[in-house]
Structure 1
Amino acid sequence: MGLYKRGQVWWMQFTYQGRLVRKSTEVSDKKLAGKIHAKVTTQIAEGKWFERLPGEDKTLGDLLERYVSDHSVPNKAPSTVRLDRAIVKDILAYFGDIPLKEVTPNRISSYKSVCRAKGLAPSSVRYRLCVLRHAFNLAIREWEWVKDNPATRVSKDKVDNARDRWLTIEEEERLLNASVLYATGEKNVKIPHYWAQEIVIVALNTGMRQDEILSLRWPDVDLFRKTVAIIRSKNGEKRTIPMSQRVFELLKEKARVRNIRSDLVFASEAGTKIHDRNLRRAFFNALERSGIADFKFHDLRHTFATRLVQAGVDLYTVSKLLGHKDIKMSQRYAHHCPESLRSGVAVLDRISTSSAQSAPEMAKGVTDCSVTP
């Protein structure tokens, strides 16, 4: 049966490349539907018919808009969603809202060259291409818009994300002192605010990411068990972090003066979540006041992990505390200083000393066992 009716619309079915295809004729008149079916059958016989995909009429703007709404928003942190939206705006500014079939490897490669010419870091260029590549992959696997991903045929630049930077104890003290913010009250009295300092202390002693700290709520803090639960981490999995004594004392004190308008641990005066831009501004100003250069907020997490490794904590434990799915991701935090490796080479000294002490005993044993001829 070539034609059949669904509701008021006639559908046709036919075999194409050994596969049964059912498509709507998009008309309610049977005679017209028959003509459409006959035309398609003729085109198949002549090798002129090609199956149209739903995404043939879609544009790059449609693709990226759906990528942000269907993937970024439900799966990524708010700060990353804002980054994705900015990248989408940049991509469309270069390509324009062109049909998807006009997005070619050559055009993507040209876009990569333009990004380099703008002076963007290799990691920034790579992330832009990753957004394009992932969006096309979703369009192939889930949305069935297209069959080809042009971004996969564009080479990715090698990026070295490893940063060999962490705070010394002296730098930590300077940073914490500089993180106390002062507001001017009545009669020009300086009123201290400790929220930025508290966030820095939590980051240094838990390894939590910036958004994990800003999103932390009191129901996720267990002062009895001395643990903090991260409900939604970057990799989408929940993890529990034991508190150090310093973090425990800090949170116990904060719990006594909680903001009644919010259950956020770190909330603005209005009871809302502290905006990451406000935290970055306060942190940058603290770095300037303390004279600490080449340091980012994420390096507090790096400092946490590095100190643990230097103290002899195994990488598996560090990986679990950081919330890494793969222990390989924690290798970048294994920046040992010479002192932390000294115990390794000290084994050689112990072996040498032991050998030197046992040599006279062995010689004595040989003498005692000798036989006079």
Structure 2
Amino acid sequence: MYKRDGIWWTCIRHRGRKIQRSLETKNKKLAESIEAKLRTELIEGKYFDKYEGDLKTFKDLMERFMKEHAPKVSLNMQKSYTTSAKHLLSFFGDLSLLAITPKKVNDYKVSRKNLGKKPATINKELAMLSKAFCLAVKEWEWIRDNPASKISKEKEANERDRWLSDDEEKRLLENSPEWLSDIIVFDLHTGLRQDELLSLTWDRVDLFRKVIIIQESKNGKPRTIPLNQISLDILMEKTKVRSLKGDFVFPSSVMTKMNRRNLVRAFDIAKEKASIQNFHFHDVRHCFATRLAQRGVDIYRISKLLGHLNITMTQRYAHHCPESLRGGIEVLEKVDYNLTTVEVNRNVSTA
């Protein structure tokens, strides 16, 4: 036994397996009694068959998940978890964790489909459910298996690949007020998500190094984005009229964080005036990525600039990179083959 932060712990090896766990007490005698009981259960073969899951409900699972795991992710993901948890709790409620089988999880998926929910929404909820059960298996030792891991995801067919033509961009900017035009142009040259734009503060802007730092990305990890001259010029102009009342780079009229609904409303009005169809504000970000791909920037760098957790999410832009791919194979031409010598050697070897 040993102490950690005043609490007694034990580390026991039995038949090649290691059990290291807290005895959950500061009292040494009580800790010794608990450890002795554990050793007895190991000898009798009962220890590894026991899980706390038979005493835990789905509500317990969600409460611990939201308390321990949710704070580690981005604010947007936390909001998504909160929404998903409401639907999951309304279905699974106070069921024992051991009563939640793959069939039960599939029943949940079917119920959400019957309510007309989109595949992306269902997949988000299933992903949260699977993550919670994964923690319950691997870290909390509440249950033996993850029932959600055996359920297939819904096929999503809602990926968009819409970008602005040069003429559409010109018309959109001409029909936008100056504050909105600044936001659109800045996003066309940085690829920020909507909330990343509206949450950007001056303390995250480094004009000397020509970078901005996004502290709260969707994937929970900060990222640094370089600024080209166009996006830098927008920030330089804004520093000339920057108000001391607020720290947001793109603030509301009263210098607070701009409400996303007000941004989308103004964007839709400008879009309608410019006669642009089937284009959402989030598509400005897609436009940024598409233009990079069309100009030969490789998918890996595009993925890093967009803040994607893995390159799979960026693959939708791959078909825009034919010249980049051509450049990839043209590097082989730098190898200097003497084809005449190769042919002579081949003839000699076959003689």
- Indicate the residue corresponding to 2:228 in structure 1: 243
Q: 209, 212, 221: which one pairs with 2:196?
A: 212
8 Å Cα contact 2:53-2:98 kept in structure 1: no
Q: CA deviation at 1:108?
A: 0.7
1:129-181 deviation digits (Å, cap 9, x = unpaired): 1110011112222233222211011122333454221111222233334443x
The alignment partner of 2:110 has SS state of helix
Q: Say which is worse superposed, 142-151 or 300-309, in terms of deviation.
A: 142-151
Larger radius of gyration: 1
8 Å Cα contact 2:53/2:96 also seen in 1: no
Q: Check 1:52–1:280 CA distance in 2 against 1; reply closer, same or farther (3 A cut).
A: farther
Q: What per-residue deviation string (whole Å, max 9, x for no partner) do you get for residues 226-280 of structure 1?
A: 33233343341422322232x2222111111112122221223444322434434
Contact residue 300 and residue 311 of structure 2 kept, 8 A: yes
The CA RMSD over aligned residues, in Å, is: 4.0
Displacement of 1:74 in angstroms is: 2.8
TM-score by length of 2: 0.73
2: CA distance, partners of 1:307 / 1:14:
59
Matched, 1:168 2:152: no
What aligned pairs does 1:208-287 form with structure 2 within 5 A after superposition? 208-235=192-219, 236-245=221-230, 247-287=231-271
Residue 120, structure 1, aligned to residue 148, structure 2? no
**How many residues end up aligned between the 2 structures?**
313
Question: TM-score w.r.t. structure 1 length?
Answer: 0.69
Q: Deviation of residue 20 (structure 1)?
A: 8.6
CA contact (8 A) 1:60 1:99 kept: yes
C-alpha contact 2:175 2:270 (8 A) present in aligned 1: yes
Shift, 1:289, TM fit? 4.3
Instruction: Write the mapping of 1:284-323 to structure 2, written as runs, cut at 5 A.
Output: 284-323=268-307
CA distance in 2, matches of 1:119, 1:226: 46
- Over 3 Å counting, the alpha-carbon distance change for 1:59 and 1:126 in structure 2 is same
Task: Give the gaps of 5 or more residues in structure 1.
Answer: 1-10, 181-193, 345-373
Work out the CA distance in 2 between the residues paired with 1:321 and 1:49.
Answer: 49
SS of the residue corresponding to residue 334 of structure 1 reads helix
Provide the residue aligned with 2:70 in structure 1: 72
Runs of 5+ consecutive residues of structure 2 not aligned to the other structure: 1-8, 327-351
CA distance in 1 between partners of 2:199 and 2:41 (Å): 61
Q: Quick one: distance in 2 between partners of 1:229 and 1:109?
A: 41
Specify the SS of the correspondent of 2:153: coil
Superposed CA deviations along residues 342-370 of structure 1, whole A, max 9, x for unmatched, are x97xxxxxxxxxxxxxxxxxxxxxxxxxx
Deviation of 1:110 after TM superposition, in Å, equals 0.8
Amino acid corresponding to residue 207 of structure 1 in structure 2: G
Higher relative contact order (CA 8 A, sep 6+): 2
Instruction: Report if the CA contact (8 A) 2:299-2:314 is conserved.
Output: yes
Would the aligned equivalents of 2:213 and 2:222 in 1 still touch at CA under 8 Å?
A: no
Kept after mapping to 2: 8 A contact 1:196/1:282? yes
| Identity percentage of aligned residues | 43
Given that 1:319 and 1:330 are in contact with CA atoms closer than 8 Å, whether structure 2 keeps it comes out as: yes
Preserved CA contact (<8 Å) 1:12 1:25: no
Aligned 8 A contact 1:230 1:238 in 2: yes
